[in-house]
């Protein structure tokens, strides 16, 4: 059965993570995606562990695409991209502002070639403004967006989330915006330009919790402890665990899970205010009970009582976690001479139009001959 975006054609001019990951999500949902690269290739091809020109990171964000390598500065490359744009539904690019204009493909030309085109432009800070000329990578956005300030160490110094969280948040934002624009086009026939800034996506991502002390403007209430400061990891007998109990029933379930039945039944601890006021009474006892219990036994108790809790998995343990295995989350894709590569199935499961486990990521220029033939062009374009 075809995916929900079956029949949609995407031209992916982007590189690194934000744009390619957005395009990969569309590919998993059934879109035909052609990744267009310059002769130098996407820099992520050689970042981290790799075989040939396929790194693990490149595969993860370019799965299920066909690859076309052309020189956009040449007449033949210009003709090839123009032909692709004319038949596409979506174009994704994440060059610095003005770069695609200088290469001869401003939005105005693309819209003239294809008025129904959804033109998605991803930038660090936006198409204009005081920072628009700054080159951007994920840590810069984490810094300016306030995300780094929410990740303080024991001395109060800001730090980075050790993940490309701004890139990946932007990718999710872009994929959703593109499908919304396609839905609008389905109703009206009109294409449009989308501008998705990494800064905008990350500040919006931060707002509900990281920025909750900065919401009220008129007669603001007293600031509360920062939401991120309320969470911590707890030591178990053979590792670490995360627990939570925002609601009274959850606190009761946690105390029962670790054998502290007297605290589970304490009426003074039924609400957040009481638990906060009496933290010195129950928190040390909870810490002691957790530290005396093995993770497997804690997980059994959490499941039995319906408590909020989970073991801290190492990276290697994630793929064998019982719930990950039950969800059939990890998949293997054959990459030919490079062997099997492990990845993740599409996160959203569609009952009527299932998303597919995407195929291999393309080698640089792997599909040049077939794509150029489809466009009625010769090999000179590559």
Read off the DSSP letter of residue 166. Answer: H
More confident residue, 94 or 272: 94
> Is residue 156 classed exposed, middle or buried when 0-12, 13-18 and 19+ CB atoms within 10 A define those classes?
exposed
Taking the C-alpha atoms of residue 166 and residue 373, their distance in angstroms, rounded to an integer, is 38
The CATH fold assigned to 9-206+330-381 is Rossmann fold (3.40.50)
pLDDT for the residue numbered 224: 86
Between 194-203, 343-352, 373-382, the lowest mean confidence (pLDDT) is in 373-382
C-alpha distances out from residue 218 to 221, 228, 271, Å: 9, 25, 28
For residue 379, pLDDT beyond 70 = no
Exactly one of 42, 53, 138, 167 is catalytic; name it: 167
Q: What is the DSSP string of 333-352?
A: EE-GGG-EEEEE--SS--SS
Give me the residue label for tokens 């994929």. Answer: 175
Whether 122 and 170 have beta carbons less than 8 Å apart is answered as: yes
Query: What average pLDDT score do residues 342-353 get?
Result: 92
pLDDT for the residue numbered 35: 98
3-state helix, strand, coil in the chain (%, to 5): 45, 15, 40
For residue 346, pLDDT beyond 60 = yes
Rounded percentage of the chain residues whose pLDDT exceeds 90: 91
Taking the C-alpha atoms of residue 318 and residue 291, their distance in angstroms, rounded to an integer, is 22
Query: What average pLDDT score do residues 205-233 get?
Result: 90
Angle at which helix 165-188 crosses helix 198-206, to 10 degrees, equals: 100
Q: What is the DSSP string of 171-229?
A: HHHHHHHHHHHHHHHHHH---EEEEEEHHHHHHHHHTTTTTGGG---SSPPPPPPPGGG
Over the stretch 220-268, which tens digit does the pLDDT of each residue have? Answer: 999 988 888 778 899 999 999 999 998 999 999 999 999 999 999 999 9
- Domain ranges within the chain, ordered by starting residue: 9-206+330-381, 231-324
CATH architecture for the domain at 231-324: 2-Layer Sandwich (3.30)
Whether 289 and 232 have beta carbons less than 8 Å apart is answered as: no
Q: Which two tokens stand for residue 187?
A: 């109703």
pLDDT for the residue numbered 380: 63
Q: How confident is the model at residue 1 (pLDDT cuts 50, 70, 90)?
A: low
Taking the C-alpha atoms of residue 20 and residue 22, their distance in angstroms, rounded to an integer, is 5
Backbone angles phi, psi at 11, to 5 degrees: -105, 115
For residue 381, pLDDT beyond 70 = no
For residue 99, pLDDT beyond 60 = yes
Is pTM beyond 0.75? Reply is yes
Query: What average pLDDT score do residues 103-130 get?
Result: 97
Whether 167 is catalytic: yes
Between 116-125, 302-311, 341-350, the lowest mean confidence (pLDDT) is in 341-350
Rounded percentage of the chain residues whose pLDDT exceeds 70: 99
Over the stretch 186-198, which tens digit does the pLDDT of each residue have? Answer: 999 999 999 999 9
The β-bridge relationship of strands 330-334 and 340-344 is: antiparallel
pLDDT for the residue numbered 67: 98
For residue 345, pLDDT beyond 60 = yes
Over the stretch 40-98, which tens digit does the pLDDT of each residue have? Answer: 999 999 999 999 999 999 999 999 999 999 999 999 999 999 999 999 999 999 999 99
Query: What average pLDDT score do residues 140-151 get?
Result: 95
The helices-and-strands tally (H runs, E runs) of the chain is: 16, 13
Would you state the torsion angle of the CA atoms of residues 219, 224, 226, 232, taken in this order, to the nearest 10 degrees? -160
Q: Which two tokens stand for residue 72?
A: 């956009």
Q: Which helix (H) or strand (E) holds 19?
A: helix 18-28
Per-chain mean pLDDT for the chain: 95
C-alpha distances out from residue 283 to 112, 249, 371, Å: 65, 17, 63
């Amino acid at each position: 059965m075809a995916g929900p975006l079956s029949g949609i054609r995407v031209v992916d001019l982007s590189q690194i993570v934000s744009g390619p990951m957005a395009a990969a999500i569309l590919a998993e949902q059934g879109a035909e995606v052609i990744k267009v690269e310059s002769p130098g290739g996407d820099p992520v091809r050689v970042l981290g562990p790799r075989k040939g020109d396929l790194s693990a990171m490149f595969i993860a964000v370019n799965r299920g695409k066909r690859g076309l390598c052309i020189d956009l500065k040449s007449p033949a490359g210009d003709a090839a991209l123009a032909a692709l744009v004319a038949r596409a539904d979506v174009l994704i690019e994440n060059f610095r502002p003005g770069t695609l204009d200088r290469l001869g493909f401003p939005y105005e030309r693309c819209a003239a070639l294809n008025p129904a085109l959804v033109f998605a432009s991803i930038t660090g800070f936006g198409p204009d403004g005081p920072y628009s000329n700054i080159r951007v990578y994920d840590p810069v956005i984490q810094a300016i967006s306030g995300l780094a300030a929410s990740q303080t160490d024991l001395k109060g110094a800001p730090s980075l989330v050790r993940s490309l969280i701004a890139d990946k948040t932007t990718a999710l934002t872009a994929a959703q915006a593109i499908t919304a624009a396609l839905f609008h086009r389905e109703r009206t026939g009109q294409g449009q330009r989308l501008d998705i800034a990494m800064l905008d996506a990350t500040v919006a991502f931060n707002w509900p919790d990281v920025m909750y002390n900065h919401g009220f403007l008129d007669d603001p209430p007293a600031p509360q402890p920062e939401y991120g400061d309320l969470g911590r990891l707890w030591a178990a007998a053979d590792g670490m665990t995360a627990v939570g109990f925002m609601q009274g029933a959850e606190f009761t379930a946690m105390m029962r899970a670790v054998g502290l039945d007297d605290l589970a039944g304490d009426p003074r601890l039924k609400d957040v205010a009481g638990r906060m006021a009496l933290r010195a009474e129950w928190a040390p006892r909870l810490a002691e009970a957790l530290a005396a219990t093995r993770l497997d036994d804690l997980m059994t108790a959490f499941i039995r009582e319906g408590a909020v809790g989970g073991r801290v998995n190492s990276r290697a343990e994630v793929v064998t976690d019982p719930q990950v295995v039950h969800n059939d989350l990890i998949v293997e894709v054959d990459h030919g001479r490079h062997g099997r590569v492990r990845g993740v199935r599409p996160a959203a499961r569609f009952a009527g139009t299932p998303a597919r486990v995407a195929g291999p990521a393309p080698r640089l220029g792997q599909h040049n001959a077939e794509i150029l033939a489809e466009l009625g062009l010769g090999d000179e374009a590559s």
